[in-house]
Structure 1
């Protein structure tokens, strides 16, 4: 079975240890929440037979901590037209809403002619000798003031960050899809833009992901492009990319959580999803 964030019990999603947040031992992290919602949205799109549409704008509201308890996802088609379909999803635990998402699916067509400004410089994945092509689960790579590595302690600095990671399967009986991967990894936007010298001191309340195209695989990169902070509120944006180039952007709003920051200087991760204390 693939390393996954949930197992299935009927229509219920049962979180695995991989889904556990570093904010709390009894809390599901946003990567897993977002992945579960994206999976539900894709399933509803398939159920109405719209394989001609692709996800273009995906928004998540993380308004209540999801506990390490079984979840269900309810979906609703808000509007379906020839070129657009809007679907909402809600994550529930014991009938209580803990998060919601909305996705706009659009019909791809031929791009018009004409020149429009676009950036010349784009982020790139780590060199192949550092991170070979693979969709297999592995510890995320980061670069900052330090070169690409999987050593989280080395990147706890004030530098501009870029991450490269492969999306985990959402449930153990399914391999996962490129959209599920980019939707779940988009939650890492908060870590990319809010991780500094004292760890991650902000917790994001939402995710907004805009995609011009589908990822070519489950390998996804996020590169910090901007960050604004005032009175304990942070807004950060990243460029989203894969091995074929830019995909779009992601944005998060976050609240200060400095009293219990996530400190990466004393933890280590392995490719099986295990977290251990770093040996002095």
Structure 2
């Protein structure tokens, strides 16, 4: 099977989404993971702290992101030499579809006071290869990562943990960074830990917050996710995030839940 080389292709001063961005709900709409990674890329490009660390990323999904042309822009809204706040927005289909606020900080060596970060009990090499059956298209988001199940079932109900490895670039001609890979992956936490049948209910996230005490590193990253459903059509998905050295942070997403 011939896959696109990247989620996005440069097109003048914008980008065009490829089939690898297609999400599970509608073949004309993007999964939120690739746009989230694209916003983080733009925020880091706008940063005024060279070599800084992005410690919190808060994404708002303002509406569906169509598969097609997109534009991203970012600005520093709270400049500083040690701490800054960067805002980024993604336009698609003639409107702002997603936005991001990201806190970035200057880094320094504090290894002597760092807390231990235990790894997942099962690493990527010991985890079982996994595939998804919920995507309607043969080429879609699920083909962009190599998936391995570390705990639970990635397609059945209940908490689950998965390792992933990127199989494409974010933007054609650029190597995907570990942070970009993390964001492409992490938006799928509610998918691998779903508590409802995909064919009978939708549970789309309206936001995603990722908080990191260490930047991700290496080829393999993991999320250990659980979804909790409330009594009023609202859910929440939380995940511990890992690389092969140990835990690096957490994510949380708010879910809008309704029958199909």
TM range (shorter): 0.7 to 0.9
Tell me if the contact between 1:3 and 1:137 (Cα under 8 Å) persists in the aligned partners. Answer: no
Partner Cα distance (2:92, 2:103) in 1: 25
Q: Specify the alignment match of 1:174 in structure 2.
A: 174
User: How many residue pairs end up in the alignment?
Assistant: 242
1:226/1:203 CA distance change after superposition, 3 Å: closer
Tell me if the contact between 2:57 and 2:102 (Cα under 8 Å) persists in the aligned partners. Answer: yes
1:197/1:79 CA distance change after superposition, 3 Å: closer
Q: 6, 9, 12: which is aligned to 1:10?
A: 12
Partner Cα distance (2:19, 2:51) in 1: 36
Q: Specify the alignment match of 1:164 in structure 2.
A: 163
Normalised TM-score (structure 1):
0.77
Report the secondary structure of 2:38's partner residue. helix
Correspondence 1:1-280 to 2 at 5 A: 3-45=5-47, 48=48, 50-93=49-92, 95-111=94-110, 122-128=120-126, 138-145=145-152, 155-167=154-166, 168-193=168-193, 195-196=194-195, 198-199=197-198, 201-224=202-225, 227-259=228-260
Note the alpha carbon deviations across 1:159-194, whole angstroms, 9 max, x for none. 32011112342111111111111122221122133x
Shift of residue 80, structure 1, vs aligned partner: 1.6
Note the alpha carbon deviations across 1:131-171, whole angstroms, 9 max, x for none. 7xxxx96432224445xxxxxxxx43233201111234211
Partner Cα distance (1:85, 1:57) in 2: 11
Tell me if the contact between 1:141 and 1:165 (Cα under 8 Å) persists in the aligned partners. Answer: yes
Task: Answer with 227-236 or 73-82: which moved more.
Answer: 227-236
Shift of residue 235, structure 1, vs aligned partner: 1.1
Tell me if the contact between 1:203 and 1:257 (Cα under 8 Å) persists in the aligned partners. Answer: no
Note the alpha carbon deviations across 1:208-247, whole angstroms, 9 max, x for none. 0001111112421000256352311001210000111111
1:56/1:39 CA distance change after superposition, 3 Å: same
The answer for unaligned runs of 5 or more in structure 2 is 130-142
Partner Cα distance (2:114, 2:186) in 1: 29
Tell me if the contact between 1:7 and 1:14 (Cα under 8 Å) persists in the aligned partners. Answer: yes
Partner Cα distance (1:162, 1:91) in 2: 29
Shift of residue 258, structure 1, vs aligned partner: 2.8
Tell me if the contact between 2:216 and 2:248 (Cα under 8 Å) persists in the aligned partners. Answer: yes
Shift of residue 2, structure 1, vs aligned partner: 7.1
Cα RMSD between the aligned structures?
Answer: 2.7
Tell me if the contact between 2:62 and 2:98 (Cα under 8 Å) persists in the aligned partners. Answer: yes
Q: Specify the alignment match of 2:133 in structure 1.
A: none
Tell me if the contact between 1:3 and 1:172 (Cα under 8 Å) persists in the aligned partners. Answer: yes
Tell me if the contact between 2:242 and 2:248 (Cα under 8 Å) persists in the aligned partners. Answer: yes
The answer for unaligned runs of 5 or more in structure 1 is 147-154, 260-280
Tell me if the contact between 1:236 and 1:253 (Cα under 8 Å) persists in the aligned partners. Answer: yes
